[in-house]
């Protein structure tokens, strides 16, 4: 049973369907599973000679990136195009906001383009929620990553990768390694893994890159990579996010690699069939050894493929939720007139 709109007022409509897709914090297992199942069905589309379905024909998806990200923007573009939507991509970071225009003013100008959906990426945490709160009711907002807060489609493509390679979540041990403090991917992965029933979620990193209170959310915290990797099924390495660091959180990248870089020797501590993941872009020789990134246990390129299918699922489900809500509003208006 899906939650009522009261529990997730921004993200869900009155039927418990997606209205916006902003974070994974409050979404229930049933809905996350529906996203994974829908994404699974879209993987077949990518194997066709003609890689299109007509689900969003006549709709316009606007990618609004206040922060650069070639991989995320490109996969959202492909996802929307494969659903037959018209796509507009704007790199706002180099235009209006750099000239002093506020986020609110930018939003109003974007609304004038009559797009049906905005995919928003922003360096400030909470930006996607702010836009969802102020956008006109018939526009859907997808969070393509906001500050250190959330990256929900990356979280879901990570879950799809794990499910396709490991079958389920309940009996897995999953390690998330590296810059936990600044990582919106880590946050989204932790919420998704917990909601999907994973009982052993480990976070590994230096104390300076570990948020306080992770144990309160059911995480097992390690500052030793060797101890944390012992007998895990999945290793999710994170990018070292220098652009979000302030102060001397690390002595050097070389020292970080010495203590927390994933080498073949350290990967041997995990289970023999453990898979290695990374949200990209990879810093080889800083977070991960090339032999591991390109090795037989790596599923990093699979993540990119699954990311298109997950974003197709989220776009189509959110648009369906918006359509259902508009239909309900029309029916209510007709009843009031009668």
Considering the domain architecture, whether residues 136 and 234 belong to the same structural domain is answered as no
- Indicate if 252 and 208 belong to the same structural domain: yes
Co-location of 285 and 160 in the same domain: yes
2 found inside a domain: no
pLDDT for 46 equals 85
In a domain, residue 84? The reply is yes
Binding region for carbamoyl phosphate = 71-72, 121, 151, 154, 280-281
Q: 156 and 293 share a domain?
A: yes
Cα angle value 131/133/135 (rounded, 5°)? 60
Which segments are annotated as binding site for L-aspartate?
A: 99, 184, 239
How large is the greatest C-alpha to C-alpha distance in the chain, in angstroms? 73
In DSSP terms, which residues pair with 61 in a beta bridge?
87, 117
**Same domain, residue pair 35 and 100:** yes
What tens-digit pLDDT sequence spans the chain (338 residues)? 334 444 567 899 888 899 999 999 889 999 999 999 999 999 999 888 889 999 999 999 999 998 888 889 999 999 999 999 999 988 776 555 555 567 778 778 878 888 999 999 998 899 999 999 989 888 999 999 998 899 999 999 999 999 999 999 999 999 999 999 999 999 999 999 999 999 999 999 999 999 999 999 899 999 999 999 999 999 999 988 755 444 445 667 888 899 999 999 999 999 999 999 999 889 899 899 999 999 999 999 999 999 999 999 999 999 988 876 666 666 566 666 76
Give yes or no: residues 161 and 286 share one domain.
yes
Residue 225 lies in a domain: yes
Q: Within this chain, do residues 71 and 102 fall inside the same structural domain, yes or no?
A: yes
> CA 264, CA 257: separation in Å to the nearest integer?
13
* Residue 20: partners with Cβ closer than 8 Å, 6 or more residues away: 10, 11, 128, 132, 140, 141, 142, 143, 318
- Residues 125, 204 within the same domain: no
* 99 and 204 fall within a common domain: no
What pLDDT, on the 0 to 100 scale, is given for residue 323?
78
Distance CA 234, CA 298 (A): 10
The answer to the question of residue 101 being in a domain is yes
Helix (H) and strand (E) counts in the chain: 11, 9
| Residues 139-177 as b or e (16 or more Cβ within 10 Å = b) | bbbbbbbbbbbbbbbbbbbbbbbbbbbbeebeebbbbbb
| pLDDT for residue 98 | 53
The reply to whether 8 falls in a domain is: no
Q: Is residue 160 in some structural domain? A: yes
Annotated binding-site residues read 71-72, 99, 121, 151, 154, 184, 239, 280-281
pLDDT for 113 equals: 83
Whether residue 254 lies inside any domain: the answer is yes
Tokens 């914090």 found at = 25
Q: Can you give the residue range of the structural domain that contains 77?
A: 29-150+304-337
- Inside any domain, residue 22: no
How many structural domains does the chain have?
2
> Do 182 and 236 belong together in one domain?
yes
Identify the CATH number of the domain in which residue 171 sits.
3.40.50.1370
Let me know: does 66 contact 120? Beta carbons within 8 Å. Answer: yes
Please indicate, yes or no, whether residues 207 and 320 belong to a single structural domain of this protein.
no
Are 130 and 185 in the same domain?
no
């Amino acid at each position: 049973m899906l939650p009522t709109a009261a529990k997730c007022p921004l993200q869900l409509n009155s039927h418990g369907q997606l209205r916006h897709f902003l974070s994974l914090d409050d979404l229930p297992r049933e809905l996350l599973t529906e996203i994974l199942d829908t994404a699974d069905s879209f993987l077949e589309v990518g194997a066709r000679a003609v890689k299109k379905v007509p689900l969003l024909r006549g709709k316009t998806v606007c990618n609004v990136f206040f922060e650069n990200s070639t991989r995320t923007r490109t996969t959202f573009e492909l996802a929307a195009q494969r659903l037959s939507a018209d796509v507009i991509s704007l790199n706002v970071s180099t235009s209006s906001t750099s000239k002093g225009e506020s986020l609110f003013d930018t939003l109003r100008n974007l609304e004038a383009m009559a797009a049906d959906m905005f995919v928003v990426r922003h360096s400030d945490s909470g930006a996607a929620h702010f836009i969802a709160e102020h956008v006109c009711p018939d526009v859907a907002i997808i969070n393509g990553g906001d500050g250190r807060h959330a990256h929900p489609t990356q979280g879901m493509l990570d879950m799809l990768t794990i499910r396709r390679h490991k079958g389920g979540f309940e009996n897995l041990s999953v390690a998330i390694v590296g810059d936990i403090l600044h990582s919106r991917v880590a946050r989204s992965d932790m919420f998704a893994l917990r909601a999907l029933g994973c009982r052993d979620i480990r976070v590994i990193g230096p104390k300076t890159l570990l948020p306080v209170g992770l144990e309160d959310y059911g995480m097992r915290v390690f500052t030793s990579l060797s101890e944390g990797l012992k007998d895990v099924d999945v290793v999710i390495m994170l990018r070292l996010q220098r652009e979000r660091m302030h102060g001397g959180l690390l002595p050097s990248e070389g020292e970080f690699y010495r203590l927390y870089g994933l080498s073949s020797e350290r990967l041997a501590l995990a289970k023999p069939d453990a898979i290695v993941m990374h949200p990209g872009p990879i810093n080889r020789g800083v977070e991960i050894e090339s032999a591991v990134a390109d090795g037989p246990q790596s599923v990093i390129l699979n993540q990119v493929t699954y990311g298109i299918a997950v974003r197709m699922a989220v776009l189509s489900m959110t648009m369906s939720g918006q359509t259902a809500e508009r239909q309900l509003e029309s029916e209510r208006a007709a009843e009031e007139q009668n």
